[in-house]
Chain A
Amino acid sequence: MYKFPEGFYADVRIEKVFRSLVRIETGRLEEVKEKEDSGAFIRLFDGNRWFYASTTDLGSINAELVGLASLGQANPAICDHPTVKRMQTNTGDFCRFAANSVKSVSSGEKIKLTESFAALVAEDKEITHWSSSYSDARIIKSFYSSLGANLQFDTQTAGLRLGFRFGSGANVFSETWCRAESDFMPLTKLHHEAKAHIEKARAFFVGAEKIEGGNYTVVLSPMAAGIFAHESFGHKSEADFMLGDEGMKKEWQIGRRVGSDQLSIVDDGNIAGSGFTPFDDEGTRAEKTVLIDHGILSGRLHSASTAGELGEAVTGNARSISFEFEPIVRMTATYIEPGTCSKDDLIAGISHGILIDSVKHGSGMSTFTLAPSMAYLIENGKVTRPVKFSVITGNVMSTLDKIDAVSRELEILSFVGGGCGKMEQYPLPVSFGGPFVRVKEINVQ
């Protein structure tokens, strides 16, 4: 086993990764890939600075530990450091996907599945460009630390992505249907859902009209609400942005009101899907973390370092995109908690507004934006016709206060072929979602 140097905290994370990919574009098989890789990320902490190494040579890990120790200064009191005190020492084998591993599904079956979804668009005369792709990953992680952690766990996703464009010239519309599951088999039953999405997009392409910009009451679909929660508030909940910043700590004190009574936001790595993170990349068990509880700031996301500095508990959110990178504070599955009214009741109260159904992308700093793909006008309490515009935007904090109703339907969505980006680390698989969420006075452009 590994020889952890005296006077330091150190850990070793080994990742064994299986991935496969099938891609068909406008009728042609463009790529089939199956690969297995492994690598290790090694960390060492002397109480003052972290030292990291990544390697594909699993036989060199002890030498890497010695090399990293030579860069730091041994600290006999390292175990008393607030960061080290928060390191969990979980042990055991928590792998759960061995029996239904995507590795055991043949390439032929994956190609056949991808072809069956390609067939939904291949002969469509209105669709000018399309692609159908399948991708999966099973990642087995082993984690060992100088404190005694000895842990093995796995994650798995399998997903489909169908991208298609209607029209030509200035009259074009692109849309994507994407789903991810924890297993291959559920994907074989999604053709009806994909076909319905294509037809909805066709109706949007044919009927969507531009609308005037201005302030509207907006209803966010579960997808739009999830992106809003992730981009606008989730990133602000990542505690590494607060390190050493007394002003920020004061501003973001737990217990402060940050949104309307209707709003509760949660992050939970235990939820199955693309954000599933049973243990994070420093061996901490996943927690359900309530970030906002009925408008009150209730928690934030931590690594051991940020929890140590802020005097709070770890949450299982130290994640990295691969063995080449150090874990940093990231989200897992982030969603807005459902309310009690129905979607129809929520829309019935709007005389002139907009329903945002699908979203191309979103961002959130002081100002957030959501770029809708499909959106609809709401007139006199009814969804009436498709409309198009560039983005909705607004101040994040004042918008959180303008949420006046959330529906009881909850949908948490998983994806393949992208993920969350934070500085150099992109893409990290996450999931997000929520109920239908009504927001007053959002600026539409």
Chain B
Amino acid sequence: MREKLTQTVKQTSLSIVQNEIQAVRRKNISKTGCRVIKDGKIGVAGGLGEVNSEELYARAAQSLDYGIEYDVDISENLQHRTQLDSLKISDSDLCNRISTLLKEIKARHPAFALSNKVNLSHVSLQLENERQLRLEHLDSYLSLSFLIKKQGSTGIMDTFFGLVDRQLDESRVVAAISEIIEAYDNIQPLPCENLPVIIGQSLLTRLFQRDLNGKMLGNKASLFQNQLGKKVFSENFSLQIAGDPVETFGPAFDMEGTITAENLSWLIQNGVITRPYTDKKTARRYGFENTGCADGNYDSVPSLGGANLEIKHSGRTLSELLNGRPGLMVQMASGGDFTPDGQFASPVQVAFLTDGRKLLGRVPEFTIKGSIFDFFGNDFIGLTSDKIYINGNDRMLVTRMAIEKL
């Protein structure tokens, strides 16, 4: 059985230094991987640019001799296409519009400088095989990544704005950056009371990446080893594999051609750990359900990588979750980690006070601490239903953690 995976990335990238475009990079790279699956074994070969598929299949067939097990049900009779590539901006328009945007921010905030990257990407991914599998993902999006630095500051960066979007809404971007800069310049004392912490969910869900991995549970090596089927977290806490390409900017299918069924996408439901995340091989080996999390490069044997995890949102906005009280919105928290038993600690380099509608000022650096069983347990407040534009247009996690001045 033959299977082919084709990736293309056409990208225009602008390098920004001190609010000016310093460089323009263009690339157009295609990558092709061919797989041969035979007698429960797999061989893979890949190449860049123009390739001869027959040569790649021949090399893949040769690599069957390595004897790499792949005794799984091959995806078949499935066609799916996601087309999200409606964003059309010429390179010259992109340069002009970004230049104007950067000048506008400079005019409004002359003491601050923006640097780093704006990328316009057109990506495609196709996976097809001899058993009528044909999956295709087409997307076009802009990635804005601005390091924001105040004149005279000795650090590499002071604050940040990042966004991935399928449109360029200059006025909204300027407003968001202005709000961040104005709040950054308005220093407030760290409140004595322990306010709710508003934070990007991936920082605190990353322990699930490690310990809800099917191999970890299958080998009895997980922190949650004896807790499958048990209520471990808050009734309000549910965790899902995110699979909607509109939200994730990634394909609906994994590298084995699985599209995760909705009922299998829940790893934690109402506080109960229901299943690990898996690919086909892990699911078969350990007797779990396949949740469609096969990962890998275009020329790799598909294997279990990470999962794109998302907490179920609460149906309430940030201001509703804060319920009239202020919260601490964490914007930069670099260097934190979990201990093996689920205790987390991290310095918070930049955080803002907010009432859920606007930023009220910046607080000095502090430390957050907590146990995963608490901040997703009794201390869990919820995931916002609204997307917070100043934080990359993502929904944000609201919970309680111990806060200590640095």
Contacts and interface: CB of A to CB of B under 8 A. Distances in A.
Contacts of A57: 49-50
A170 B18 contact: no
Main secondary structure of the interface of A (DSSP, over half): strand
A365 B25 CA distance: 28
A346 interface: no
A37 B154 contact: no
B221 A168 contact: yes
Contact of B28 (A55, A246, A368): A55
Interface in B215-239: 215-216, 219-226
Contact of B336 (A54, A366, A391): A391
Nearest to A243: B17
B335 A324 contact: no
B92 to A, nearest CB: 9
B25 A52 contact: yes
Interface in A367-387: 367-371
Contacts of B332: 365
B123 to A, nearest CB: 14
Nearest to A68: B26
Interface stretch (A146-154, A265-273, A356-364, A409-417): A356-364
Given A71-B24, A107-B66, A371 B48 contact: no
B53 interface: no
A31 interface: yes
A45 B220 CA distance: 57
Given A52-B24, A54-B29, A172-B340, A129 B335 contact: no
A369 B347 contact: yes
Interface in B254-311: 299-301, 303
B150 to A, nearest CB: 8
A423 interface: yes
A364 B116 CA distance: 18
Nearest to A394: B406
A167 B221 contact: yes
Given A53-B25, A366-B365, A169 B48 contact: no
Interface string B113-135: 10111010000000000000000
Given A31-B301, A54-B29, A367-B365, A390 B152 contact: no
Interface in A281-328: 324-326
B67 interface: yes
A128 B221 contact: yes
Interface string B325-342: 000000010111111111
A364 B224 CA distance: 32
A173 interface: yes
Contacts of A29: 66-69
Contact of A369 (B25, B153, B224, B336): B336
Contacts of A128: 219-221
Residue among B46, B223, B340 having the largest count of chain A Cβ atoms under 10 Å = B340
Contacts of B299: 33, 35
B194 to A, nearest CB: 17
Contact of A248 (B25, B153, B216, B346): B153
A26 interface: yes
Given A55-B28, A129-B216, A49 B341 contact: no
A168 B220 contact: yes
A366 B335 CA distance: 11
B347 A393 contact: yes
A80 interface: no
Interface string B9-31: 00000010110011111111110
B337 A168 contact: no
B367 A244 contact: no
B72 interface: no
Contacts of B22: 49-50
Contacts of B219: 26, 128-129
A165 B335 contact: no
A25 B50 CA distance: 34
B90 interface: no
A424 interface: yes
Interface in B140-171: 145, 149, 151-157
B279 to A, nearest CB: 11
B335 A367 contact: yes
Contact of B18 (A38, A129, A243, A369): A243
Contact of A129 (B115, B215, B224): B215
B345 A391 contact: yes
A246 B18 CA distance: 11
A214 to B, nearest CB: 11
B339 A390 contact: yes
A366 B350 CA distance: 10
A39 to B, nearest CB: 6
Given A56-B48, A168-B225, A245 B337 contact: no
B82 interface: no
Interface string A88-122: 00000000000000000001000100000000000
Interface string B45-63: 1111110000000000001
Contacts of B225: 168-169
B349 A367 contact: yes
Contacts of B345: 390-391, 445
Contacts of A26: 215, 219
A350 to B, nearest CB: 24
Nearest to B91: A71
Contacts of B154: 248, 251-252, 397
B2 interface: no
Given A56-B49, A167-B221, A243-B18, A391 B23 contact: no
A330 interface: no
Contacts of A33: 44, 299-300
B221 A165 contact: yes
Given A53-B27, A326-B15, A174 B340 contact: yes
Interface in A229-249: 235-236, 240-241, 243-248
Contacts of B222: 168-169, 172
A6 interface: no
B344 interface: yes
Contacts of A172: 221-223, 340-341
Given A57-B50, A168-B221, A245-B18, A50 B335 contact: no
26 contacts: A25-B215, A31-B303, A33-B299, A39-B29, A52-B23, A52-B25, A54-B26, A56-B50, A129-B221, A170-B340, A240-B17, A247-B153, A251-B152, A365-B156, A365-B157, A367-B347, A367-B365, A369-B337, A389-B339, A390-B337, A390-B338, A390-B343, A390-B345, A391-B337, A391-B346, A424-B145
CB-based closest 3 A-B pairs = A369-B335, A56-B49, A247-B152
Given A129-B216, A324-B29, 13 more contacts: A30-B68, A31-B300, A56-B49, A129-B215, A169-B225, A173-B340, A251-B152, A325-B25, A367-B406, A390-B339, A390-B369, A393-B335, A424-B145
Interface of A: 25-26, 28-33, 35, 37-39, 49-57, 71, 107, 111, 128-129, 165, 167-174, 235-236, 240-241, 243-248, 251-252, 324-326, 360-371, 388-391, 393, 397, 423-424, 443, 445
